[in-house]
Structure 1
Amino acid sequence: MNDATTSPADSALATRGAALDLLFNVLAKRVPFDDAWDASRPLRALEPRDRAFVRMLVATTLRRLGQIDAAIQGSLNKQGQQLKAVVQDILRLGAAQLLFLGTPAHAAVDTAVELAVARKQHPYKGLINAVLRRLDRERASILAEQDAGRLNTPDWLWLSWRKTYGTALTRAIVETHLGEAPLDITVKANAAAWAERLEATVLPTGSLRRAAGGQVTELSGFDEGGWWVQDAAAAIPARLFGDLAGRDAIDLCAAPGGKTAQLAAAGAQVIAVDRSEKRLVRLSENMARLGLGARVTTVAADATEWRPDAVVDAVLLDAPCSATGTIRRHPDVARLKSEEDVEKLGRIQSRLLYRAVDMLKPGGTLVYCTCSLQAEEGESQITNLLYRRPEMQVVPVTADEVGGLSELLTPDGYVRCTPGHLAEIGGMDGFFAARLRRVG
């Protein structure tokens, strides 16, 4: 916590310094934002309000990075001028405050210059001051001339999505990425009553939705264990099993446990498998809060190698993926993932799928899902599986199973959600899900 004698100016500088370190770790060291956040020592010395500002500032910088970099380049006296990484990041944070967060110019500019001095970048004080002053003066015209969605989307993602979804839906996806995601909630039962208590809306798919913001743990009923946070799209796959009462299920790559909770709440006895013991501890804590611990057994193992003692009725595989469907919530994904990652992860997904089939009883159901917008991690995986494992057959998902939202279904009967769906009420994560049955 800040000492009582800490001046507001020192506090502001410490806050921007923590943000600068965080941004550097994400963009230069390529550390996922949440991991960088958890490992940041400077953050621990800040007041809760300042930590919240750091999170908002860095997340906004990552979300609007294309616009910010274009604006900075357009404000330099020498077009195409290459800047030192630390100077570039100081300018990025200053630009995010001026262009998108409404920070007063004197606060954003002065702290940026002071931060440059603190990081021994004295020769760049004048440049930083001049660029940020220009951004402040020309803010309206700069933003009016920018194609925000396109600028903030890396080329490989734009081209991939346009090929898969067409220009119109791709445009809807990237426009939705510009805003924060709402808070979605899954309840064990009685959605209408919980919606009233939580001041939320019931979505067609059955999830509850309320505006983002506030502490989740302080919301009504958190300690009662009647609900958990889970994006509306992420809540669909586990519902595709139908009646699970008295059945055995395996949740592969299970942590942090949202889908495990759904399976257990539906009456299944669940084996939750994840390679991370640390993440399984969190899953177990979540199950305990929800009163579902007795229905869940955890196993720390690599799911490509692990074997259950007996085959089961249901297997849910939420496979590791590029997570390009979660960019609204994790804007660092757009900057950290690449086409090479998609290819590498695709090989892992194929191995997991084959293993999952072997865990099923004849007549058992497999639901495969990823929080990715890449067809290579969704539709293509199922096409390959059906070719190599003829005992598996697709069981098409029907519109009534997704709240009547037929636009979420593909002609093959798969679920394909994009952030452009339900855009008028806040959108949803990008998700793919397919349901298959083992016959014979």
Structure 2
Amino acid sequence: MPPNPTRSAAFSLLSAVLERRRGLEEALDSLPGTLQPRDKAAAHRIAAAVLRRLGSLDAVLEPYLRREPSPPALQALRIGTAELLLLGTPAHAAVATAVALAPRPFAGLVNAVLRKVATEGPAVLEGLDAARLDTPPWLWSAWHAAYGPKVRAIAEAHVRPAPLDLSLAPGTAAPEGAELLPNGTARLPPGTRITEIPGFAEGGFWAQDAAASLPARLLAVRPGEKVADLCAAPGGKTAQLVAAGAAVTAVEKDERRAGRLRENLARLRLEAEVAVADVIPWAAARRGAFGAVLLDAPCTATGTIRRHPEVQHLRRPRDVPKLAATQAALIEAAAGLVAPGGRLVVATCSLQPEEGEAHLARAAALGLRLDPVRPEEVPGLEAAVTAEGALRTRPDLWGERGGMDGFFVARFTRG
């Protein structure tokens, strides 16, 4: 049988991530334009399931493989196993479509292995320690050092598909069926397609994880206040700040990402000045020009694994100190933009302390004073306020509601 278009697309996505080390969103954008949106969404669902459970899937397959097959055959086996054990695809369809994906010399192997997985795999999967197997060892060790026994809850949160979180434009009601979270986020079930929700084209809301909405809220901008949003794309935080009445300059280094930011603001009927520039020289020419500054700094993004499961397969330990150094330079630049008495909020979507808590001492050395987050500012997340007064969210928080991304957020004032 010819390859199924959905499975072929999933195969391309996995090959792009695991063999060519490309991000999943970038790989999605590279799929053929002729692929139907529903096929594209289904391919993403299959690829994401494999990436979330890669360690467990490989452990299920291992007893049936005398040696590791070629990468294309292995991807076909992973797709078939994920469909059989995780996605509820009927056995005959999962096996047949995976066999069609495999290179001809490996078709018999894929067929034989997946038939065994179909009958024996569920019991094997049930007996595995998924949290450990599906988390790269270096991340498990780092999170255990930082969070102790909570590492297991973090890892378990990563294997569950994330819900769709929406930030609502002022005056917009939550979509039908959405749960309104304590921070004002409207939450819909995993797999909900945002473009099919009534009000999308009219700009009534935008996708933004509940945790990602907190930094802009904590900046607490005032109507008419001059605000700089640094490293601003794709624009969710810019939208929050503009919707709150601020006069926002959004700074983004990458022209392509800046274009996406403009497109998002246009759909939302919001206006901001967009500067395509490197933050550091841009800030050096505008010292003290803003009453409030938001910096969501580039990071390893290990706090977003539940939404971007490829992150744990693309990042390496050496990325952490490199990105922490970049963040330190950006914090210094951002501090220079803040007028005396003004405010700076620094955020990273990373679970690594080197990209979060470690920056508190560096900020103090720049003359920034930590403005502690008050528990009443983050209803339902009082336990996420650290002893120092920063905010540390984790994927296991609000677990009964579907969790949230891992963020570090700190608010400072300039003397």
Residues 44-55 of structure 1: pairs in structure 2 closer than 5 A? 44-55=33-44
Is 1:333 aligned to 2:311, yes or no? Answer: yes
Q: Which residue matches 2:192?
A: 214
Shift of 1:217: 2.1
Shift of 1:103: 1.6
Matches of 1:245 and 1:18, distance apart in 2? 46
Q: How many pairs does the alignment contain?
A: 413
Q: Which residue matches 1:29?
A: 20
Shift of 1:141: 1.1
Residues 15-164 of structure 1: pairs in structure 2 closer than 5 A? 15-41=6-32, 44-76=33-65, 78=66, 81-116=67-102, 119=103, 121-122=104-105, 124-164=106-146
| Preserved CA contact (<8 Å) 1:198 1:220 | no
Identity, in percent, stands at 47
Matches of 1:374 and 1:298, distance apart in 2? 30
| Preserved CA contact (<8 Å) 2:286 2:337 | no
Task: List alignment gaps of at least 5 residues for structure 2.
Answer: none
Q: Which residue matches 2:173?
A: 194
Matches of 1:22 and 1:153, distance apart in 2? 20
Matches of 1:240 and 1:18, distance apart in 2? 41
AA matched with 1:301: A
Is 1:282 aligned to 2:257, yes or no? Answer: no
The DSSP-based 3-state class of the residue aligned with 1:313 is strand
Query: Which residue among 392, 410, 413 is the counterpart of 1:434?
Result: 410
Change (3 A) 1:403 1:107: same
Larger radius of gyration: 1
Matches of 2:164 and 2:23, distance apart in 1? 21
Matches of 2:328 and 2:316, distance apart in 1? 19
The DSSP-based 3-state class of the residue aligned with 2:279 is coil
AA matched with 1:425: R
The DSSP-based 3-state class of the residue aligned with 1:278 is helix
Deviations 1:387-437 (A, max 9, x none): x31x21000001111014211111011110000100001000111100000
Matches of 1:50 and 1:226, distance apart in 2? 27
Matches of 2:37 and 2:342, distance apart in 1? 49
The DSSP-based 3-state class of the residue aligned with 1:320 is coil
Matches of 1:47 and 1:328, distance apart in 2? 25
The DSSP-based 3-state class of the residue aligned with 1:240 is helix
AA matched with 1:178: V
Shift of 1:243: 4.1
| Preserved CA contact (<8 Å) 2:219 2:294 | no
Shift of 1:257: 0.6
Q: Which residue matches 2:206?
A: 228
Shift of 1:385: 2.4
Shift of 1:45: 3.2
- Deviation larger for 226-235 or 107-116: 107-116
Change (3 A) 1:74 1:383: farther
Over aligned residue pairs, what C-alpha RMSD do you find?
A: 1.6
Change (3 A) 1:258 1:49: closer
Deviations 1:347-378 (A, max 9, x none): 11011000001101111100000111110110
Shift of 1:299: 0.3
Shift of 1:283: 1.3
Matches of 1:94 and 1:227, distance apart in 2? 36
The DSSP-based 3-state class of the residue aligned with 2:404 is coil
| Preserved CA contact (<8 Å) 1:249 1:268 | yes
Change (3 A) 1:220 1:87: same
Shift of 1:83: 2.2
Shift of 1:112: 2.3
AA matched with 1:351: A
Matches of 1:95 and 1:381, distance apart in 2? 43
Matches of 1:251 and 1:234, distance apart in 2? 14
AA matched with 1:17: S
Deviations 1:252-311 (A, max 9, x none): 000111101111111111110001122212212222222221xx1010011122135462
Could you tell me the TM-score, scaled by structure 2's length? 0.96
Q: Which residue matches 2:295?
A: 317
| Preserved CA contact (<8 Å) 1:206 1:403 | no
Q: Which residue matches 1:5?
A: none
Shift of 1:94: 1.2
Matches of 1:418 and 1:113, distance apart in 2? 39
